[in-house]
Amino acid sequence: MRQEPRFTRSAVVAWARDEGLDNLSSSVLEEALGPTIERLRLPRGLLSSMTGINRRQLYPSDWPPSRGGIRAAERLFSKGLDRSMVDSLYSTSVGRDFLEPSTASIIQSSLGLGPEVKSLDLGSACLGFIDGLELAALKIEAGLSEYALVVAGENSRPLLENTISSLLAPEATVKDFFDNFASLTLGSGGAAMVVGPSERHPAAPRLVSAASLSDASNNHLCRGDFRGMVTDSTGLLEAGVGLAKATFDRGAGLFGWTPGTFDLIVCHQVSEVNTRRFCQTLGLDPARLVETFPDYGNMGPVAVPFTFDLAWEKGLIRKGRRLGLMGIGSGLCCSMMEVLVP
């Protein structure tokens, strides 16, 4: 039977985020879809009222997914961490520059990391980054790595533009609109974290434990590529929060987690409805959740590290606090990680 990890010497020693260059409000996005909304007799303000997303950040259309992650990593290294210390690199984005080579190899080259660095793409829908942190920590715990760079970058603009184009087609139906509705929530951004030995960084946030579960029978609820994404939003919400509850209960049984364990909840965020339902189902205080969806939308695997950096910037991550890094990804899969600020 698979065992869940407890970590004793792994910490997040550096982190940074990168924001999209352009700001697209939900009202402007609805204006672009105006002819279809009017033809289908849908209410105005539907996008913001149903999602709670006011705006999202976007990169230029021709930017590959790697660029946001590279920009975040460069910002991370500019804070003082020596990049020559990195021996592993995991690119965890949903988007990839090419089917081959690996996006990780492009990031490795762009950052000037040496030939001894082991790099690879690690994908798990919106959970890729948390899984990257777990893999990095496991290698450090086993003495196989010292410093691992986990990176994610997402450029949602091409998919968003394709979705708008398809929904403006005269044959688009109400069903088409809502099948593609989740695509309209997507935002762009980049994030990077370095996991290293806690004994060398005693003040760094320490990874404590992790729990995960999957429900692969529901892999059909959200499927997409660069051309578009079709989502059963209601089915995904119901199945997703059910899996999240089971995962949290798994952590409760193994590590003693309770709804009051975590001072801050740093999670992947899809919309206001999903986020509120997530907190309600797990019994979490929504006041402890660091919100980013209203201004940044759904950033996929970028969301958790991006939100972590924003919470740090706001002074919310302080000594003695316990953080819950949590997410649900299409597939379905769920991962949760406990972090302690010493």
Catalytic residues: 100, 126
Calculate ∠ Cα 212-141-17, nearest 5°: 65
Query: What is the C-alpha separation between 4 and 251, in angstroms, rounded?
Result: 9
Cβ–Cβ < 8 Å for 15, 305: yes
Q: What angle do CA 194, 5, 119 make, to 5 degrees?
A: 35
Q: Give residue for tokens 């000594």.
A: 319
Give CA separation, 162 vs 33, 158, 175, 229, 270, in Å.
Answer: 12, 6, 17, 10, 20
Torsion over CA: 95, 98, 102, 107 (sign): negative
Distance of CA 150 to the CA centre of its chain: 12
Distance CA 296, CA 52 (A): 11
Nearest to 152 by CA among 335, 289, 305: 305
Rounded to whole angstroms, the Cα distance separating 125 from 224 reads 10
Contact 183, 229 (CB under 8 A): yes
Q: What's 220's DSSP letter?
A: T
Cα–Cα distance measured from residue 268 to residue 126, given in angstroms and rounded to the nearest whole number: 7
The answer to whether the beta carbons of residues 335 and 130 sit under 8 Å apart is: yes
Using DSSP, state whether 155 is helix, strand or coil: coil
Terminal-to-terminal C-alpha distance of the chain: 32
Strand partners, 189: 19, 154
